[in-house]
Each structure stands twice: as C-alpha cells, then as structure tokens.
Amino acid sequence: MTSLSKDGDIAAKISSWIANVHPTRGSSSKGGRAAMNELIKICNETHLDTGLTIDGPRGPKFIPKKGIFKIAYECNTPIIPYYGISSRTKVLKRSWDKFRLGLPFSTMYIYYGKPILIESLSDESIEKYAKLLKEGLFEIEKSHFQKYPKHASMIESQE
C-alpha cells in the first residue's frame, strides 16, 4: 500500500518495475479504507504476501497504525517484522521520519523478526501487538548496528 501522493506514485512505480508488485493506493490520512479493503481482497484471493510501513505517511515515527493489524487479522496471516538497510545510505533530513534512502551500488541487508499472529482486534490486543512489533523492529536494527557499527555512525552523522 502506498500513499496517493507524488512520493507514493514513485514508490508504486518502482515497486511494480522491480518486484512485480501490485500496489494499492491510499494511506491512513487519505483513501486508506478503500486501499485496505482492496489489499485484504487481493491477499485473500491470491494468497500473495503484503508489505507495509507501520507508521503511515505522517507518523508519529515508529508507531504502528491499527490498519496493519486489521489486514493481518482479516487475511489470517502473521505480521513479520522486517528491516532493510543499505551499506551506503542518505538520510532525508527534511522528511518527517528522516527517511533512509539506499544509494546505488550499495550492499543491502535485509532482516526478519519473529512472526506475530493477530488473534484479536480488541484495543488491549492491538496495544500488545503494537508493542511487540515496535520492539521487534528495534531489536533487529540494534542487532544490525552491533554487527556493523560503522552503519550506525553513518546514520547518526546525517540525522
């Protein structure tokens, strides 16, 4: 799912070209319900995997939106935290989330965390799942920076 913005256009086109991805268009701030319903329908009909950023187009940074849990619940599929970082990265300082852009000819590192199965959509459950997801992502990042400390200093020097 990518936003309806110009940035979303770029992300949708690139993901379609590179990975044969069918992006649905919308976000928590505009067109989100329709995009979420389309994503659930596609996932249930095709059994394809989905990929989402957890914090939506406006943040707050690292705080999961409720839609990710609804999608996982409706598709009866676990959320698998994943983290990607490039050996050479440009931090976009003016973006609200300090977006990290991998540079050409870099090595890409991709990590996966423990799956989180969504069994309930109660407020209490969503709070628990959000905490597990956030902690899982931070743990993956921490593990990477312990293996490659120069990557941590590269990011810190740009933020």
| Residue-number span of the structural domain to which 139 is assigned | 79-159
Q: Is residue 88 part of a domain?
A: yes
Q: Is residue 51 part of a domain?
A: no
Nearest one of 23, 3, 111 to 65, comparing CA atoms: 3
Helix-strand-coil percent breakdown of the chain, rounded to 5?
A: 45, 15, 40
Measure the CA–CA gap between 33 and 122, rounded to whole angstroms: 19
What confidence tier does 30 reach under pLDDT thresholds 50, 70, 90? confident
Q: Is residue 87 part of a domain?
A: yes
Q: Is residue 158 part of a domain?
A: yes
Q: Is residue 98 part of a domain?
A: yes
Predicted confidence at residue 12, as pLDDT, reads 76
pTM above 0.85, yes or no: no
Q: Is residue 121 part of a domain?
A: yes
Q: Is residue 59 part of a domain?
A: no
What confidence tier does 136 reach under pLDDT thresholds 50, 70, 90? very high
Position 57 pLDDT exceeds 80: no
- The partner residues of 111 in beta bridges, in order of sequence, read 83
- What total of structural domains would you count in the chain? 1
What confidence tier does 75 reach under pLDDT thresholds 50, 70, 90? very high
Q: Is residue 16 part of a domain?
A: no
Two structure tokens written together for 139: 């743990």
